[in-house]
A and B are shown apart, each in its own frame.
Chain A
Amino acid sequence: MTEASRLSRYSLRFVALFYLAALLMIPVAIIFYRTFQHGLSEPIDALTSPEGMHAFWLTMLCVGIAVPLNTVFGVTTALVLVRQKFIGRGFFNSLIDLPFAISPVVIGLSLILIYGPNEAVGGWFMDNGIQIIFSVPGMVLATVFVSLPFVVREVMPVLQEIGTEQEQAAETLGASPWQTFWRITLPSIRWGVTYGVVLATARALGEFGAVSVVSGKITGQTETLPLFVQSEFQNFKVEGAYAAALVLAILALVVLFGMSRIQRRSDVSVAGQVPAAATMAEDVPLDPDKKENN
C-alpha cells in the first residue's frame, strides 16, 4: 500500500470516527451515565414495575408483528418495483417514503380518522368486537406504518446492483421462480435484508408520536417502552426514563448482532461449498466479469 493511500485511509477513519463520536457516541454515553447516576435501585425498580414489564412486552409484540410483516412485504415490493415494469410504478415507488415525511402526530390522527370508533371502518370493527384505536391493534398498525420503508429501500439498491444474469441463468437451467428466489436472489440480497430488518426494528422500537396518539396511553395496558419513558419523565422519575431508553437501545443491539450472526454463519457455509459452485460453473459458462456487461 502506498503512503498516500495509507494516509487517506487513516484520515478517512479519523474523520468518520470523530463525526460518530461527537454526534453519537457521547450522547449514548450520557444515557448510560444518567441511567446509573444515582445507583442501580431506581432504574431496576422502574423496569421491574408492572408498568415497566408490561411496556416491555407490548413493545416486543408491536415490533414482533410489524417487522416480519414489513420484511416479507418489503422484499416482495422491492422485487416488484425493481424487476417489473408497469404503469404506476413510479407512483407506488414514491408512496413508500411517505410514512416518513408525515409527522408522527398526523400519522396517528389519520389512523384515528379511519379506524377510530366513530368512523365508518373503525365502527364496523367495533360492532364486530374488535377495537382498533385506543387499543393494541391500532398501535401495531401505527408501528407497521412507520417501519414500512426500510426493508424495501435497503433491498432495492442491492437488487439493482446485482443485476439479473444469475436469475436468468437459473431459469434457463429449469429452476422454478420459487427456487430462483430462495437460492439465488435471497442469498444475494441478504445484507440488504439484514440492514433493512435492523433499521425497521430500530424504528419500530423507538416510535413514539404516532403510537402515542392511537394508544389511549392507558397506564399498564397500552404503553410501549417509549410511552413509558415519557410517562416516567413526566413524573420526575428520570432514571426510570433513561433505563427504559437503555433497554430499547439494548434490544436494537440484540437484533443487530443477531442478524449479523446469521449472515456470518452463512458466509462460513459458503466457504465450504466452493467446490459445488465450481461444479455449477462448469456446466454453464457464467461470465465472471458480469459488471462490465451491465
Chain B
Amino acid sequence: MLTRGVAMMWLSVIVLIPVAAVVLRSLDGGLSAFWDAISAPEAQSAIKLTFISSLIVVAINIVMGTMIAWVLVRDEFPGKRYVNAIIDLPFALPTIVAGLTLLALYGADSPIGVHIAYTKAAVVLALLFVTLPFVVRAVQPVLLELDRDMEEAAASLGASNVRIFRSIVLPNLTPAILAGAALAFARAIGEFGSLVLLTGNIPFKTQVASVYIFGRIESNNTTAAAAVSVLLLVLSVAMLFAFQLFSYWRTRHDRG
C-alpha cells in the first residue's frame, strides 16, 4: 500500500538513518572498545541512575497523569481552562529555563524552604517537570471520546465509583496511559539540559547518562559516547517494547 510505504519511508529517513549512523560510530573501535565504553564503572552508574529515576518518574506520571486528565475532562471548576492550557508549558520552555526556575524553587536559596537540589531526588523532580504533559495528554483524548453509557449503566446497577473506574474505564484507558508512559520514559532517558543545574552532576552520585555521554564527547572520545548512547537506546527500546506488550496483553485480557 502506498500509505504504508510513505509512512515507513518517512520514519526511515528521519529516524532510522541517524540512529544507524550512531550505531556505526559506536563500533569504530571494534567490539572491545564498545565493551570497554559501556562497562566503565562511571557509565554503568550513570545508566543505572538514569534508568531507575526514569522508571520512578513513569510510575508517578501514570498515577498523577491519569488523575490530572480525569480531573480536566470530568470535573468542572473555575479556571479549569487555564489549568488545561499550562500543562504543556514545561515542554515548550527551553531546558535551561526549566533548570533555572527549578533551581530557584528548590535550591540553596529556596523561598519555600525545600532544599532538594544536588540530591538524587532532584533528578526525579526535574524529570517530573519535563514529562508532565505526556500521560495527561495521551489520556485526555481517549477520555473525551469515551462512551459514558456503560459507566452510567453500571452506576445505576449500584457499582461503586472505584469499581466502575477499575472495570470499565481503566481498561479503555490502558493503551493510552501506556503510550503516554512510554513517551515519558523515553524523554526521561534522554533529558539533558534541565538536569545539570539542579543535580550537581557528581559522577557516581548524581550524574545521569546523557551528561556522561556529553562528557565523553568533550573528552574527544566520541566512540565511547556513541557506545553508551547505543546501550541506552537498546535498553529503552526493550523497555518500550515491554510497555507495548503489556498494553497488548491488558487489552486482550480485558476485552476477551
A contacts B: CB pair < 8 Å: yes
Q: Which of A43-51, A107-115, A277-285 is the interface stretch?
A: A107-115
Contact string, A1-35, partner B, CB cutoff 8 A, digits 1/0?
00011001100110111011001111110110010
- Chain B CB count within 10 A is highest, among A106, A192, A292, for A106
B-contacting residues, A66-113, CB 8 Å: 73, 76-77, 79-80, 84, 86, 90, 92-107, 109-111, 113
B-contacting residues, A228-252, CB 8 Å: 229-230, 233, 241-242, 245, 248-249, 251-252
Indicate if B40 sits at the interface (CB-CB under 8 A): no
- Chain A CB count within 10 A is highest, among B1, B16, B95, B233, for B95
Q: How far is the CB of A121 from chain B (nearest CB, A)?
A: 9
Indicate if B200 sits at the interface (CB-CB under 8 A): no
Chain A residues, Cβ within 8 Å of B52:
none
Chain A residues, Cβ within 8 Å of B92:
201-203, 205-206, 248-249, 251-252
Q: How far is the CB of A212 from chain B (nearest CB, A)?
A: 10
Are A73 and B7 in touch, CB under 8 angstroms? yes
Are A90 and B244 in touch, CB under 8 angstroms? yes
Are A156 and B4 in touch, CB under 8 angstroms? no
Q: How far is the CB of A16 from chain B (nearest CB, A)?
A: 4
Q: Which of A125-133, A157-165, A167-175, A268-276 is the interface stretch?
A: A157-165
Given contacts A24-B86, A233-B96, A256-B88, contact A94 B241 (CB under 8 A): yes
Cα A183 to Cα B57 in complex, Å, equals: 39
Cα A202 to Cα B86 in complex, Å, equals: 11
User: What total of chain B residues lie within 8 Å of the partner, measured CB to CB?
Assistant: 94
Chain B residues, Cβ within 8 Å of A198:
88, 137
Q: How far is the CB of A236 from chain B (nearest CB, A)?
A: 13
Which A-B residue pairs are the 6 nearest by beta carbons? A100-B186, A252-B92, A226-B94, A103-B210, A157-B176, A101-B236
- 8 further contact pairs, Cβ within 8 A, besides A94-B237, A249-B92: A16-B70, A27-B105, A27-B129, A97-B240, A153-B138, A203-B92, A208-B94, A245-B94
CB<8 Å pairs between A and B, sample of 16: A73-B10, A84-B4, A92-B8, A95-B16, A103-B210, A111-B18, A145-B15, A150-B183, A157-B141, A157-B176, A161-B142, A188-B145, A202-B91, A202-B133, A245-B94, A256-B88
Q: Could you tell me which A residues sit within 8 Å of B by CB distance? A: 4-5, 8-9, 12-13, 15-17, 19-20, 23-28, 30-31, 34, 73, 76-77, 79-80, 84, 86, 90, 92-107, 109-111, 113-114, 141, 144-145, 148-150, 153-154, 156-158, 160-162, 188-189, 191-192, 194-195, 198-199, 201-203, 205-209, 225-226, 229-230, 233, 241-242, 245, 248-249, 251-253, 256-257, 288-292, 294
